[in-house]
Structure 1
Amino acid sequence: MEFESLNDDQLIARLQMSDARAITEIYRRYWKKLLAIAYNHIRDKDDAEEVVQTVFIKLWDKRNDIAIGQLPNYLATAVKYSVFSMIQKKNRKDEVGQFFVMNHQSQDYEEEKIYTIFLRQYIKGVVEELPDRCRLVFTYSREQGKTIPEIATTMNIAEKTVEAHLTKALRRIKHSLKAIGISVAIAISFYIFW
């Protein structure tokens, strides 16, 4: 069978039958476009290549668990999620590293500053564990300051869906804070609750 002649829907069907030739053809068709999308966001070729590779690995690993409508849209969205995830992880590592460097230089940190840094890192960790779309909506809203209509337009989803994702994210964060004995009011008082 010539996989080059298959349309995307046929490739998806073959992919879900664990035919490795399907993932090879999908890669051949879309890797350049996906690399361009990733590079456009992170401006680093190595990181962009890593993002694209990760997307294809996840596509293969989850081939039986995912529902793909339009393959190009699915792949582009997966790249965007991976880019945001990579950026968040790098920022988080940088902040933690800076904290420890500064902590070794000066042991005179006030308890509130340490607590604030801990809470920020804890909440970032909770956000990283959110489902992809939920995390992306939360990131757009709280870190980039986008409005609900702007997020809906950017992600091509309904405003009610954006609201539902935000509600889910905030509930998860509140629940996680309560689980470790921190009230949301205390978190807000330390200016870390976005």
Structure 2
Amino acid sequence: MNNPEIFEKTYTQYWKKLTAFSYTMTQDNDLAQNIVQDVFVDLWERKSDVKILSIEAYLFRAVKNQVFKHYQNNRFDKTILEDKFEDYVMDHFTTIEPELLDSLYSLLDKLPEKRKEVLLMYKMQDMSIDQIADELEVSKQTVKNQISTGLKQLREGLKDLAWLALLLFCIEIFKITFA
């Protein structure tokens, strides 16, 4: 890897794949790009010391380790993981693990019936605020308020589940890495 042309070719070939991989773990585009950049900087700085048999395996493993290192260094700030988890759950409501989905449904059942209905329409049926307002014959502002309040209530309940999600997330990354 001492050759700048080979390094540049490797960078060009793997940048997008590694950034996408990093993003799946962090759900933060800037952080994902920074992690990949750090991996390549480290590789260049250690170019004469490192012996690599498979560049692709090396790079993906290095990115995975950098992500874990980032979260390990920030482990005392649980809000980072909690926020990532909450965002992930809200964005991937229909595709999350069954164990987590059971807990989420339990949290949903604690919501007032109309709020629960609005959230399910919004997240599960992918309906717009306008569509929900029309169907329920309420104002758009009422729908927005119900969604906002419902998500806040779910986030509060999800804070307790953040470590379960981290475990499931790591299992999912393991599947991606070794698939």
* Range into which the TM-score falls when normalised by the shorter chain: 0.3 to 0.5
The alignment's TM-score, normalised by the length of structure 2, stands at 0.43
